[in-house]
Amino acid sequence: MFASRRGSTLLALLLLLAPLPALAQDKSLETAKEHFDDGQSLYLQGKFGEAAEKFVKAYQAKSYPAFLFNIAVCYEKNRDFAKALEYYERYLKEDSTTTDRELVQKRIKAIRLHLNPSGSTLPSSMPATPPNLPPVKPKGLVVIESRPEGAAIYLGGDKRKGVFTRTPYTGNLPEGQHTVILEMRKYKPERKTFHARSDRLVYLYFALSTEDYLGWIEVKANVPGADVYFDKKEVGAVGKTPYTGFLRPGKRKIIVERPGYAAYVKELDITAGKDHVVAVELAKVKNGWLKVTGATTEGATIKVDGKPVTCAEHPCQTELGEGSYKVEVTKKGFKKYLQDVTVKQASETQLAVRLMPKPSRIKAYITWGVSTAFLVGGIVSGVMSKSRADGIEQDRAAGKLYDSNDPRLSSGKVTAIVANSLFGLAGLTGALGIYYMFRNEGEDSYGESKTTKIAIVPALGPHTAGIAGHVRF
């Protein structure tokens, strides 16, 4: 009986003591947030020395590196450059992954030069000119914690961008609304939307609960950044390799694709509460791709070695075997473009084309109109001249005396000369119209080709997510 009571008392003590660390942690964070918010308010009031003291107290409550940066900024604004230098250096030492390392190092260098100007002839009592530095202000802070720790954090409410980082996370995010997803094996995923501010500390806590009704899947691939689909591609990719997440139980189709590689498809039987690992080996395709781009190529006819290419959308992309090809791009109202391109295995050859408009044919049509008028005038004049000559011949045949002063002689000669002149002008203007019709006026269509390897590794991390690149055109 005594042993039972002693056991019950011990159990009660354990239950009372167990939450204390968590409560202490919450209290310290609450204290840090209070001092942080006070520091930001004082900074906005121009009370930089008092703001620095508040940020120091915030750091003493919770040792977040961002607090050190804010302390340094306040001391710099308060023209206490020695302390500013100290806290900038501590900030870089404690936050080795910060994205503003280079900018902070430049401030450190400028402040050091300010404190110890080499070759300065100023008296020691006269301060040097303050360092000329770009404007700076304290950082806001976002803290994301979970129980248990180690949960994957996805930013933007979209897993397709990949894992941002894992809990616990402290850092600054761009001001505005953000959505985060937390996910961890054997626990239900959680989602929250919050508003990040440059002058406040935002704290997010996730108490993850166990997940027993779904299966857990991990998709690994020899090529990072491959798109992962479940069941149907039409619904869109759920993420990129390496991918982790939950799936409802039952028969599921796993599809993994990456441009330049053959698609991977596998049927999998998902069991609730179980882990499923899919190791994918993507093989490079033997062919490459030709992509014809450019604002003027929409609706154009594209031929490869004389054969038309069927394109479902713009820009036009077609799969070709490795080798050299002659590409022809034509479009009504534009000059034709010809280019020899080389397509390589598992690579995309981009042909950026600028089609130039054909010259106007109005001059040709006007010139041909004038030529036609000359031709008609020549025919009419010729008919008139022949009519007069025929009249004289008829009179001679009838035995009438020849009169050298007959006006038909002079008018017939004049109309004959006019007819010949008009025929000559018709020929000249007709030839000029042909020239206007077929002359190459203005700049020719032009373009450039660029071959890009398809296997690009995306950059993912707590501060960056995505693929960077550019195409010159």
160 and 91, same structural domain? yes
Asked if residue 382 belongs to a domain, the reply is: yes
DSSP string computed for 269-308: EE-TT-EEEEEE-PPBPS-EEEEEE-TT-TT-EEEETTEE
Which of 218, 222, 260 is CA-nearest to residue 239? 218
59 and 33, same structural domain? yes
Mean pLDDT of the chain: 80
- pTM of the predicted structure, to 2 decimals: 0.51
Residue 23 has pLDDT above 70, yes or no: no
Residue 196 has pLDDT above 70, yes or no: yes
Whether residue 170 contacts residue 230, with contact meaning beta carbons closer than 8 Å, is answered with no
Write the CA distances from 148 to 18, 151, 157, 187, 247, integer angstroms. Answer: 16, 7, 21, 9, 21
| Six token digits for residue 58 | 């915030």
Domain hosting residue 82, numbered range: 20-115+132-182+191-207
Write the CA distances from 133 to 76, 106, 267, integer angstroms. Answer: 10, 9, 60
In whole angstroms, what is the distance from residue 335 CA to residue 57 CA?
Answer: 72
Task: Using DSSP bridges, classify how beta strands 347-354 and 288-293 pair: parallel, antiparallel or unpaired.
Answer: parallel
Asked if residue 4 belongs to a domain, the reply is: no
Whether residue 291 contacts residue 313, with contact meaning beta carbons closer than 8 Å, is answered with no
With cut-offs at 50, 70 and 90, classify the pLDDT of residue 130: low
Q: Looking at 147, 173, 207, which one is the last position of a domain?
A: 207
331 and 271, same structural domain? no
195 and 94, same structural domain? yes
CATH of the domain at 241: 2.60.40.1120
Note the pLDDT of residue 458.
Answer: 36
Q: How many domains does the chain have?
A: 4
The pLDDT tens digits for 211-255 are 888 888 889 898 888 899 998 888 788 888 888 888 888 999 999
Asked if residue 237 belongs to a domain, the reply is: yes
With cut-offs at 50, 70 and 90, classify the pLDDT of residue 383: confident
Burial of 248 from C-beta contacts in 10 A (0-12 / 13-18 / 19+): exposed
| Six token digits for residue 456 | 């690009």
| Six token digits for residue 265 | 């498809």
Asked if residue 220 belongs to a domain, the reply is: yes
The pLDDT tens digits for 402-440 are 666 777 777 777 888 887 888 888 788 888 778 777 776
Q: Looking at 228, 250, 280, which one is the last position of a domain?
A: 280
143 and 26, same structural domain? yes
Note the pLDDT of residue 372.
Answer: 92
The pLDDT tens digits for 60-103 are 998 888 889 999 999 998 989 999 999 999 998 988 878 888 88
CATH of the domain at 195: 1.25.40.10
Asked if residue 1 belongs to a domain, the reply is: no
- Going along 110-263, which residue ranges are E strands? 141-147, 152-155, 165-166, 169-171, 176-184, 187-196, 201-207, 215-221, 227-230, 239-240, 243-247, 250-257
Structural element, H or E, at residue 6: helix 2-17
